[in-house]
Amino acid sequence: MKDMFGSPGSVSGLMLRIGQCLCAAASIGWMVSASGFSSYTAFWYVVCVKICVIRIQDFV
């Protein structure tokens, strides 16, 4: 069976996941830098949950 581009366990798959992580970090950074960000409760909730999930994964 031929390996597909981006399949799990391949270098291309790792590069795609790293790119996905960088794009997610950039979008969160862009939202946080906006004026009045904390007044948008839904966005604030999503960012706080994401930060908590990242912190929990670091300890596991």
Could you read off the pLDDT of 13-60 as tens digits, one per residue?
Answer: 889 888 988 888 888 788 778 777 767 777 777 887 888 887 777 665
The range of the structural domain enclosing residue 34 comes to 11-59
- pTM score: 0.56
Cα separation, 41 vs 32, whole angstroms: 12
Does residue 30 fall inside a structural domain? yes
Please tell me the predicted confidence (pLDDT) of residue 59.
67
pLDDT of residue 57: 72
Phi, psi of 31 (to 5 degrees): -65, -45
- Tally the domains of the chain: 1
- 2-34: buried (b, 16+ CB within 10 Å) or exposed (e) per residue? eeeeeeeeeeeeeeeeeeeeeeeeeeeeeeeee
- Residue 2 in any domain: the answer is no
Residue 1 is assigned to a structural domain of this protein: no
